[in-house]
């Protein structure tokens, strides 16, 4: 039933590193509310709401989810039903709740083998590493890479990131007419930064990016999802083999050393960790830069405040993370026991979807939440996570985005959106951005 893979627990969900987990095997019941509205006036759906796998109107869809309540049954591709957590305070609480885990064996649907073959979100569930680990395992895996992302190490990267940004802007200055800022600037900057940290060759980076795009796509066909999984696993396995023969001054070499010297990292965890670093290290920042530029060009009054020095670039980054989170819906977490949320109960063994883009526009937490306002104070969002699984590379993503925006608008203050139809969104509800960002230098 599951696509071929070497990752433990993916082929045989009843076996693998989590097989000793003691969880309920009973099918998860669905709430049957006696009234169409809950105690707080939210209109609850009589059946799960279907999420558009192509992400064609994420913010409109999120508004409907928020109106339905803080925890809403939604249908993912393949008819898989999970709970979308759509209100800020509820998601913040559950992200740090010990009754919520990341181990896929906690999920009844997965454990019973009821996921369709080639399910496009399977990799979020099965990839071995810190993103699917709990407790001591999570602390062990996170500790192996955390030293690369301390505030001191990130500050040391700032000059190199700025120099790389300036070189890319030199190339942008040579372009004429309309051009895609996402392709020529927002993508290469974070990809080159994480590529250098991991010791990836330039030729490998574009191929890995294409495969990772498919990996995070909720609209991928089963064949494409399987091919992307196998391609990424194969390429990163080749990177590990090459680094064993020719060690370098990079994080991949450090992780290999941790595995071989202390036996603290399995081979699958090693490749899974590299995959997480690659995808999170450039996809999120790529969307963040794209969304920030698009918002500023659509709101010239806000851009003028920043260019006049009245608002720091850091405020632009934080407001973009809130207003247009680079991650829309992030799969998955699992209820370890029954969890009451408002007037419903999430049953033990059910899965939860972190609706980051939805909670960023929760009117109960952010007045006038649909408005992009770089003067908003304070901007405390959840777009980079919360609790034990808070994004390890948050500081690096912020540094790259601030550097990119400051350099771009410092060099091209008259940058403008190109004429024509609005850019199409990325075909996914996991990623939240546009496929292209056509602009021109005015």
Cis status, amide bond into 346, omega within 30 of 0: no
Which pLDDT score, from 0 to 100, does residue 147 have? Answer: 80
Q: How confident is the model at residue 145 (pLDDT cuts 50, 70, 90)?
A: confident
Average pLDDT of span 332-351: 97
Name the nearest CA neighbour of 321 among 409, 277, 385. Answer: 385
DSSP 55-72: -TTHHHHHHHHHHH-SEE
User: Which of these ranges, 38-47, 136-145, 277-286, 348-357, has the smallest mean pLDDT?
Assistant: 38-47
Which pLDDT score, from 0 to 100, does residue 256 have? Answer: 87
Tokens of 267: 């081979």
Mean pLDDT computed over every residue of the chain: 88
- Could you tell me which residue, 90 or 140, shows the higher pLDDT? 90
| Residue 309 CB partners (closer than 8 Å, separation 6+) | none
Which pLDDT score, from 0 to 100, does residue 44 have? Answer: 52
| Residue 98 CB partners (closer than 8 Å, separation 6+) | 336
CA torsion through residues 38, 387, 60, 79, sign: negative
DSSP 418: P
Q: How confident is the model at residue 336 (pLDDT cuts 50, 70, 90)?
A: very high
Continuous H helices in 96-175: 108-111, 122-126, 135-146, 151-173
Q: In whole angstroms, what is the distance from residue 383 CA to residue 386 CA? A: 8
DSSP 180: E
Give tens-digit pLDDT for 54-88.
999 999 999 999 999 999 999 999 999 999 999 99
Which pLDDT score, from 0 to 100, does residue 257 have? Answer: 85
CB 78 within 8 A of CB 51: no
- Phi/psi for 360 (5° steps) reads -65, -20
Which pLDDT score, from 0 to 100, does residue 202 have? Answer: 86
For the cut 70, the answer to whether the pLDDT of residue 320 exceeds it is yes
Q: How far is CA 160 from CA 153, 170, 190, 193, in A?
A: 12, 15, 12, 9
Which pLDDT score, from 0 to 100, does residue 229 have? Answer: 87
- Could you tell me which residue, 131 or 22, shows the higher pLDDT? 131
Name the nearest CA neighbour of 281 among 160, 180, 163, 148. Answer: 148
Task: Provide the percentage of residues in the chain whose pLDDT is more than 90.
Answer: 72
Average pLDDT of span 245-254: 91
Name the nearest CA neighbour of 422 among 440, 405, 412, 436. Answer: 436
| Residue 301 CB partners (closer than 8 Å, separation 6+) | none
CB 346 within 8 A of CB 41: no
**What does the radius of gyration of the chain's CA atoms come to, in whole angstroms?**
21
User: Which of these ranges, 31-35, 201-205, 286-290, 349-353, has the smallest mean pLDDT?
Assistant: 31-35
DSSP 366: S
CB 226 within 8 A of CB 3: yes
- Could you tell me which residue, 31 or 146, shows the higher pLDDT? 146
CB 131 within 8 A of CB 102: yes
For the cut 50, the answer to whether the pLDDT of residue 360 exceeds it is yes
Q: In whole angstroms, what is the distance from residue 337 CA to residue 302 CA? A: 46
């Amino acid at each position: 039933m599951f696509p071929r893979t070497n990752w433990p627990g993916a082929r045989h969900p009843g076996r693998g590193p989590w097989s000793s987990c003691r969880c309920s095997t009973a099918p998860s019941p669905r709430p049957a509310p006696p009234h169409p509205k809950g105690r707080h006036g939210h209109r609850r759906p009589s059946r799960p709401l279907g999420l558009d796998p192509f992400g064609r109107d994420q913010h409109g869809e999120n508004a409907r989810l928020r109106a339905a309540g803080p925890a809403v049954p939604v249908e993912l591709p393949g008819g898989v039903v999970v709970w979308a957590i759509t209100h800020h305070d509820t998601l913040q609480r559950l992200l740090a709740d010990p009754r919520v885990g990341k181990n896929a064996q906690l999920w009844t649907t997965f454990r019973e083998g009821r996921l369709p073959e080639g399910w496009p979100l399977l990799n979020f569930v099965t990839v071995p590493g810190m993103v699917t680990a709990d407790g001591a395992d999570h602390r062990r895996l996170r500790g192996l890479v955390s030293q690369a992302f301390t505030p001191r190490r990130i500050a040391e990267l700032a000059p190199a990131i700025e120099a790389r940004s300036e070189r890319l802007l030199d190339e942008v200055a040579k372009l004429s007419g309309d051009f895609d800022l996402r392709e020529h600037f927002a993508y290469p900057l974070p990809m080159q930064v994480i590529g250098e940290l991991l010791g990836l060759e330039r030729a490998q980076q574009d191929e890995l990016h294409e495969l990772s795009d498919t990996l995070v796509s909720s609209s991928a066909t089963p064949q494409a999802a399987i091919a992307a999984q196998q391609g990424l696993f194969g390429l990163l396995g080749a990177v590990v083999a090459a680094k064993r023969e020719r060690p370098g001054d990079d994080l991949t070499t450090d992780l290999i050393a941790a595995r071989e010297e202390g036996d603290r990292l399995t081979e699958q965890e090693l490749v899974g960790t590299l995959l997480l670093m690659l995808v999170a290290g450039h996809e999120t920042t790529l969307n963040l830069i794209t969304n920030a530029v698009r918002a500023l060009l659509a709101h010239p009054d806000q851009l003028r405040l920043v260019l006049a020095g009245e608002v720091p670039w850091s405020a632009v980054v934080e407001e973009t993370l809130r207003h247009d989170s680079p991650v829309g819906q992030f799969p998955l977490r699992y209820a370890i026991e029954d969890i009451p949320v408002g007037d419903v109960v999430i049953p033990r063994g059910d899965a939860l979807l972190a609706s980051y883009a939805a909670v960023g526009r929760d009117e109960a937490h952010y007045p006038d939440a649909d408005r992009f306002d770089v003067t908003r104070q304070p901007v405390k969002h959840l777009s980079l996570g919360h609790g034990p699984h808070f994004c390890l590379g948050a500081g690096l993503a912020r540094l790259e985005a601030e550097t990119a925006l400051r350099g771009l608008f410092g060099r091209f203050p008259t940058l403008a959106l190109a004429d024509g139809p609005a850019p199409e969104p990325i075909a996914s509800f996991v990623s939240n951005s546009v496929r292209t960002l056509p602009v021109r230098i005015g």
